Structure 1
Amino acid sequence: MRLRALLAAAVLTTITAPAASAVGHGSDVPPGQYGFVAKLAMTKIPRPDGSTYTSYCTGSLVAPGWVLTTGHCFHDAQRNRVSGKVPYPTTVTLGLVDESAESGVARKVTEVLQATENDVALARLDTPVTVVAPLGISRAVPKVGQQLTLAGWGSLTSTDPAPAPHMQQGTVSVAKVDPTTLGVRGAAPQTTTSACTYDSGAPYFTDGRLVAVEATGPGCPHAGIETTSRADVIADWIATHTA
């Protein structure tokens, strides 16, 4: 198993990666949908040798001033998760599905709060977003067999990954429920529909409510179990900090 965002696809800041599709074996998100899905672009991420690189994550707007994503998207040079002042320049883009045709809404991250229950973080925006409706948080315990929508800006495959120019979506089914995580499997468009590199933090949702957040999984696309962080176990934590 590996972390989706930063371990497998470090890119030097002087290199521009080619475009690719997102969510392995997914499908294009139609215009006007899922404006709450956020693309996070991070620059000058430190390495132990003093060099830096650029990487990406996905997240979701859960309050006008806050985006929820995976905790490991924010770390120090030794890859320890960090809270407090954002550790490197991070831009959040919301309100679009096609970067070649839309500009969306861009904000900067100023602060990071790490959850203790699972690999999840809240990122505070420099200015609240009022033109995009936030995604609600489910408080219901997920059930095996429940189907969820995954949407993200990740890569098509784990080989030569690149962030997507067009948001992708897919359907997964809950395969196992653990105390703080869910195991999910691809259901549609294919059984190999799965999160990929740069999908860390991507939302799994149903009926306008966030059920889980992408954490890690096998190389994509794949038909195995993907590990996600449950939203219901941190619903109170989210509400407290975003009120």
Structure 2
Amino acid sequence: MVALTALAVAVAPVAARPASAIAHGEDAADGAYGFSARLTMTGLPVPGGGSRDSWCSGALIAPRWVITAGHCFRTPDGRRVGRLVADRTRVTVGRTDLGGRAGYEAGAVAVHQADAVDVALVELDTAITDVPPVRLADGPPVVGEVLRLTGYGLTTADGPAPTDRLQTGRFTVGRVGADVVETTGWRPRADTSPCPHDSGGPYFREQPDGTAVLVAVVSTGPGCPHPGPDFSARTDVLADWIADTTGPADGRIRWLSAGVGAGVLLVLLSVVLAVRRRRAGP
């Protein structure tokens, strides 16, 4: 169970639970929404011993970083944690059909949890540079705005396994809270809705030039399919945290580059001075 903000508690029509794949959505076109990510977690511990496998959805926001739902990384007793929980966590990006070979796979090496919002950032062991990341919104969504969602979850609440093909649907924005936004299915159907394993899937606006701008990620909602709202975690309110979390790696690269450059400069300066001394003679 994911903790809800006051907005979600006030308007949730039924008991909420983490969301899965998109029910009554539609197949994404080949190569579309390449920033969409699937997280495959193998060997998750369960209460009483043993393990299970699970999946979440997400989005590439930088070459080494994927954003997803915070509750995708939790202990057997349901506590969100800032670390990997499964024996193995793999991230697939840019692969519309999971049975194909397009796109990329990378391992997850670290997890960073937002303090009060159901959002986590996952660091990858390999930079994915050939897939354009989704842009981050710098302001809140607007009531009535249409957003698109992508996810790799189930297509029914009791389905046997997540879909092998990226699903998508369009949603309208309802109420907007301090860190949660309410979204309701619109196309292809009024009961288009996130399902299990869609958790962390990106809600994004599509700009006229085709640019996708991330607004929120799937957090919680009723069982699927259903009419009425689900609740997603706003990402614009996390802009500073995202920048601080994803920035150090780039900072290390910049520092290393500067250090290497300074080293080369010192070597060149030493050579120049040595040549001048030899020319000057004893």
Q: Same fold (TM over 0.5)?
A: yes
Separation of aligned partners in 1, 2:37 and 2:140? 25
Q: Which has the higher helix share?
A: 2
Matched residue type, 1:170? G
Determine which structure has greater relative contact order: mean sequence separation of CA pairs < 8 Å that are 6+ residues apart, divided by chain length: 1
**Is 2:6 the partner of 1:2?**
no
Separation of aligned partners in 1, 2:115 and 2:22? 27
**Is 2:230 the partner of 1:226?**
yes
SS in 2 for 1:67: strand
User: Residue 117 of structure 1 contacts residue 234 of structure 1 at CA under 8 Å; is this kept in 2?
Assistant: no
Separation of aligned partners in 1, 2:33 and 2:55? 18
* Aligned equivalent of 1:13: none
* Aligned equivalent of 2:128: 129
Provide the alpha-carbon RMSD of the alignment: 1.1
User: Residue 61 of structure 1 contacts residue 67 of structure 1 at CA under 8 Å; is this kept in 2?
Assistant: yes
Q: How does 1:1-243 map to 2 (within 5 A)?
A: 1-4=16-19, 22-84=21-83, 86-88=84-86, 89-206=88-205, 207=207, 208-243=212-247
CA positional deviation for 1:100: 2.4
CA positional deviation for 1:90: 0.6
CA positional deviation for 1:114: 0.2
CA positional deviation for 1:104: 2.4
| Paired residue total | 226
Q: Which has the higher strand share?
A: 1
SS in 1 for 2:116: coil
CA positional deviation for 1:235: 1.3
Matched residue type, 2:147? L
* Aligned equivalent of 2:271: none
CA positional deviation for 1:101: 3.0
Matched residue type, 2:235? A
SS in 2 for 1:242: helix
SS in 1 for 2:55: strand
Would you identify which runs of 4 or more consecutive aligned residues in structure 1 move more than 3 Å? none
SS in 1 for 2:193: coil
Matched residue type, 1:242? T
User: What is the TM-score when the length of structure 2 is the normalising length?
Assistant: 0.78
Separation of aligned partners in 1, 2:45 and 2:145? 39
Matched residue type, 1:79? G
Structure 1, unaligned runs of 5 or more? 6-21
Matched residue type, 2:218? E
Per-residue CA distance 1:173-231 (angstroms, 9 max, x = gap): 00111111001000101111111111000000013110000001111111121010001
Matched residue type, 2:18? L
